[in-house]
Amino acid sequence: MSSPDADPLFERAVVAAVADDVDVDEDELRSALDTHQESVESLPGVENIVYEWRKEYADPLLERTEEAYYLLVPERVWAEFAEHLDLSAAMETAVVEVHRRTVAARTDCPAEPPESAAYVALSRDV
């Protein structure tokens, strides 16, 4: 993803609000979001990881559009991503929160995922 303006998945206002709420640098948060999306694409690929999660977890796919997948996964998935991407605790919190707000805004899902679960939004356009 080349720039924040080119990224249709995470709205600038959401990223800015989360950066302010969690007290992390907005540009670093944007970079972490981009790195996460790119890492999913470079590892198994977005389509493949969604396929794997659909086999591994109970009904993880909340919604699919031409642009994105919106998923519900166990919280531990974020811990694995954070470790793989070497995110600080604050940055992990911020990234997860951007995903939560994005999924909640773009689907009919509750604003908060069920206990021990987390939302993930994956661009199909990486």
102-122 pLDDT tens trace: 999 999 999 999 999 999 999
Dist. CA 9–CA 124, nearest whole Å: 9
Dist. CA 86–CA 57, nearest whole Å: 25
Q: 6 — phi, psi (to 5°)?
A: -85, -10
pTM strictly above 0.95? no
Helices (H), the chain: 12-22, 26-42, 46-56, 76-85, 89-106
pLDDT tens for residues 31-56? 999 999 999 998 878 999 999 999 99
